[in-house]
Amino acid sequence: MQQRISTCLGAQVVQNSSEEVLGTLANVLINPDSGTIEGFYVFVPSGLSSGILFCSSLDIVRFGARVHIRSEDSLCDPRDIIRLQSLLEDNRPVLGQRVRTESGQKLGRCKDIQFNTDTMKLEWVFPKKLFSWGRGVPVADIVEVRSDAIIVRDAPRPVLQQSEEAHVSVFDPLETPEPTVSCKEDSNI
């Protein structure tokens, strides 16, 4: 199922077996090289481990009105996961990042994303300029995610079909046959 991050931020995160509310979805961690959703930051309001914790995408059982995770033990400090260290230090965010075309046209800032909850892969980015949303950009059109901007392909220009007549120059002499005049003899004359 496709999910927009703007619609699921603030959703309750619950333990799958007991339906116990563990916290609320606070943010997402996206790998800028592969477009994979590595996991989500969860705000845990009380207890010994209160604050922002991390839940790997592998520990998410299902998305719905609530986000169901395997267990409370799935929540941890993101710095405790060794494979995420380079990603956490990487200065190439997707959300909040400027979006530009290859030719330099500014499309806005990425204010929303759409991802597939089954594969945890990014599918679309949605730029916004001031108060107006821009056109969504499919991940297939992303060329590179840099520290200063997400670079996307320029929109393809429509190719006009040229007919055979279009190849003839207007300055070429017209080749028209001479009109033929036929004379009939009138028998009444």
Which domains does the chain possess? 2-89 (2.30.30.240), 98-152 (2.30.30.240)
Query: Residue-wise pLDDT tens for the chain (189 aa)?
Result: 899 999 999 999 999 999 999 999 999 999 999 999 999 999 998 765 668 999 999 999 999 889 999 999 999 998 898 888 999 999 899 999 999 999 999 999 999 999 999 999 999 999 999 889 989 999 999 999 999 999 999 876 565 555 555 444 444 455 555 555 555 555 555
Q: Is the pTM of this model over 0.85?
A: no
Q: What is the pLDDT of residue 44?
A: 92
> Which H or E run includes 88?
helix 85-89
- Dihedral, CA of residue 8, residue 11, residue 16 and residue 21, to nearest 10: 170
Q: What is the pLDDT of residue 170?
A: 44
Residue 93's contacts (CB-CB under 8 Å, 6 or more residues apart) are: 30, 32
Q: Tell me which residue has tokens 């909040």.
A: 96
pLDDT digits (tens, 9 = 90+) for 59-81: 999 998 899 999 999 999 988 98
Neighbour-count burial of 66, counting CB atoms closer than 10 A to its CB (0-12 exposed, 13-18 middle, 19+ buried)? middle
Q: Tell me which residue has tokens 């494979």.
A: 83
Report whether 44 contacts 23 (CB < 8 A): yes
Report whether 44 contacts 130 (CB < 8 A): no
Report whether 24 contacts 128 (CB < 8 A): no
Q: How far is CA 125 from the centre of its chain?
A: 3
User: Between β-strands 2-4 and 106-116, what pairing exists: parallel, antiparallel or unpaired?
Assistant: antiparallel
Sheet of strand 21-30, all strands in order from the earlier edge strand to the far edge = 60-63, 67-69, 12-15, 21-30, 37-44, 51-56, 75-76
